[in-house]
Structure 1
Amino acid sequence: MTLDMQWMTMAVMLLSGLGMGTVFDGYRVVSHELKFPRWWLPVLDVIYWMAAALVVFRVLYASNNGEVRAYVFIGLAIGIILYYLLLSKAVIVTVKWLIRAVQAFISFVLKCLDIIIVKPLLLLYKLLKIILGFGSAFTIFLLKIVIQLVRPFWRLLVWIIRPILRPIGRWLSPYMNKWQVAEKLRKLGLQIVNLWTKWFRR
């Protein structure tokens, strides 16, 4: 291996050390700012070192066919030391700023969605509820008027057909008792009243 290739490999390892330091500080800041559970940190450390070893070996293989020499470790060590002396604080500040910027952007998007979509839908729901409530009250009022108008004719009709209904009622009475028609109608009426109260009398 020529001297130029050795210096080239050492420079590449130096850059790899800088990259390792940057990624390490970056994921540490992210895990702290986003409040990852503590038990995640050892797992992330293992993943980081495995990924770093694979990347460094791949870079080393591309630069000198994977030959491991002393200058390889010297280059890595120099890169890591230079990073922590010169760039660590700047990277940490930058990563924190990026996290704040992303959080602010997400908060802005959520507020826009709330103003543009959620609040209009809630307003539309309340408006429809008011309209349906008013419509139902007006319908009940009209039905009461109609019932009052029809009541005399209904009573007259019942008085006329009562002689016919009595035999039919006696004939149907055993079946109605057997099928519990009155009880089922009563339960159905209670369910309708409960639904009405739930949706229109809040």
Structure 2
Amino acid sequence: MTLTVQWMTMAAMLLSGIGMGIVFDGYRVVSNELKFPRWWLPVLDIVYWMAAALAVFRVLYASNNGEVRAYVFIGLAAGVIVYYFLLSKIVIGTVKWIVRAVRALIAFILRVLDFVIVKPLLLLYKLIKVILGFGSALTIFLLKIVLQLVRPFWRLLAWMTSPAVRPLARWLGPYVAKWRLQERVSKLGFTIAQLWSKWLRRPPRT
């Protein structure tokens, strides 16, 4: 193996050591900033070292066909030392800034979505609720007016049909009492009124 190949391999290992330091500090800062559970850290360490060993072997294989010599470890150690004395603080600060920038960007996107989509939908829901409430009140009001107008005709019709209706009522009276039709109809009307009132007063989902 020529001297040039050895120096190239040592330089590659030096860069590999620097890269290992960057990745190690990067994932440590991210795990701390994102508050990963503590039990994740040993798992991440194992994954890191396995990935680092594979990457270093690939670089070594590309440099000198995978021959392990003393200068390989010297290059790796020198790269790690150079990184931690010269670049570690810069990398940590940069990664923290990136994490804060990503958080700020996500918060901005969420605020925009809330302003553009969520709030208009809530406003539309409230508007529909008001319209339905007004419509139901108007319908009840008109129904009362119609009933007042129809009452004279209904009384006249009842008076005209009373000779035929009274025997029928006497015949159906026991069955109506037995089936409690009036009570059931009243309960059904009360239940429908309660459901309608709850639906109109239900707060919008957020």
Do the structures match in fold with TM over 0.5? yes
Deviations 1:38-95 (A, max 9, x none): 1111111111111111111111111111111111111111000100000000000000
Name the CA distance, whole Å, in 2 between partners of 1:28 and 1:131.
Answer: 55
Classify 1:160/1:93 alpha carbon distance in 2 versus 1 (closer, same or farther; 3 Å): same
Does residue 56 of structure 1 match 2:62? no
| Structural RMSD (CA) | 2.2
TM-score, normalised to structure 2, is 0.88
Structure 2 unaligned blocks of 5 or more = none
CA shift at 1:168, angstroms?
5.1
Deviations 1:106-132 (A, max 9, x none): 111111111111111111211221122
Matched residues, number: 202
Deviations 1:7-36 (A, max 9, x none): 111111111100000000000000001111
Matches within 5 A, 1:37-116: 37-116=37-116
Question: Corresponding residue for 2:36?
Answer: 36
Query: More deviation in 160-169 or 130-139?
Result: 160-169
Name the CA distance, whole Å, in 1 between partners of 2:168 and 2:6.
Answer: 111
Question: Corresponding residue for 1:22?
Answer: 22
Query: More deviation in 100-109 or 147-156?
Result: 147-156
Structure 1 unaligned blocks of 5 or more = none
Classify 1:167/1:16 alpha carbon distance in 2 versus 1 (closer, same or farther; 3 Å): farther
CA shift at 1:190, angstroms?
2.5
CA shift at 1:102, angstroms?
0.6
TM-score, normalised to structure 1, is 0.89
**Per the alignment, in what secondary structure is the counterpart of residue 78 of structure 1?**
helix
Name the CA distance, whole Å, in 2 between partners of 1:60 and 1:160.
Answer: 110
Which one-letter code corresponds to 2:118 in the other structure? V
Query: More deviation in 16-25 or 168-177?
Result: 168-177
CA shift at 1:179, angstroms?
6.8
Classify 1:13/1:154 alpha carbon distance in 2 versus 1 (closer, same or farther; 3 Å): same
Question: Corresponding residue for 2:126?
Answer: 126
CA shift at 1:139, angstroms?
1.3
Classify 1:185/1:67 alpha carbon distance in 2 versus 1 (closer, same or farther; 3 Å): farther
Name the CA distance, whole Å, in 1 between partners of 2:184 and 2:61.
Answer: 83
**Per the alignment, in what secondary structure is the counterpart of residue 194 of structure 1?**
helix
Name the CA distance, whole Å, in 2 between partners of 1:53 and 1:171.
Answer: 98
Name the CA distance, whole Å, in 1 between partners of 2:194 and 2:119.
Answer: 29
Question: Corresponding residue for 1:141?
Answer: 141
